[in-house]
Amino acid sequence: MGCGRVGASLARALERRGHSVAVIDQDPDAFRRLGPDFHGRTVKGIGFDRKVLVAAGIKEADGFAAVSSGDNSNILAARVVRETYGVHNVVARIYDQGRAEVYERLGVPSVATVRWASDQVLRRLLPEGSEPQWRDPSGQVRLIQLGAHDEWVGHRITAIEGALGARIPFLSRFGQGLIPHEDTLLQDGDMLYIAVANEEVPRIEGLLANPPIRA
């Protein structure tokens, strides 16, 4: 939702990566920012209107980004999408840092800094590690951000490291960074930051996307 500079950049980036994209905006002229090579769907309307969301394909959506210019619209749209259509992979762009932190604690991931908004939204929509948070100068090692299958919740971070064969130097919980200790347990909504060699990324993604392997 939102076809300003951030929304248009995000839509094009997702499409380049092979995803099907629908863009909602009240101003049809805004869709010009997508350029002639954009092949996704464009829907004129208010992004928290249910008819508009359905026309955009929300019932089949795997993710939703609310990146319009209004905090209230973004927050409302994000909540409608999560609570009405059950799309959990949702992120809202919020200009007010204080409000962003509040909604992060309420379970609505948010991005508040304009300069890196598109990049951060993209990472949250694509949590499979395809967009590294950091890469070493040689390009051989990266730091990736991943969520975990619900059945990993309650496991010790040290046990998860053992299962993955990779280090988890820190995690994000309620919008705050946390360095795990020996007794730290994974909680619902945590995002793991994992240091991994490039060739190991698909294996790590596959392990965390599925329930833990029982011994």
Q: In sequence order, what are the beta bridge partners of 197?
A: 141
CATH second-level architecture of 134-209? 2-Layer Sandwich (3.30)
Q: Where are the domains of the chain?
A: 5-125, 134-209
CATH class for the domain made up of 5-125:
alpha beta
**What residues are paired with 195 via a beta bridge?**
143, 167
Q: What pLDDT sits at residue 115?
A: 40
Each as own residue / partner, the long-range contacts of residues 182-190 (CB below 8 Å, 24 or more positions apart, any chain) are 182/156, 182/158, 183/156, 184/156, 184/157, 184/158, 185/154, 185/155, 185/156, 185/157, 186/148, 186/152, 186/153, 186/154, 186/155, 186/156, 186/157, 186/160, 187/153, 188/150, 188/153, 189/107, 190/147, 190/148
Q: Which residue, among 195, 141, 137, 204, has the nearest Cα to 171 in the 3D structure?
A: 195
Contact 50, 84 (CB under 8 A): yes
The predicted model scores a pTM of 0.57
Split the chain (215 residues) into runs of 10 and give each run's mean pLDDT.
Answer: 92 91 96 94 96 97 92 91 91 77 70 54 58 64 86 95 95 89 92 90 87 81
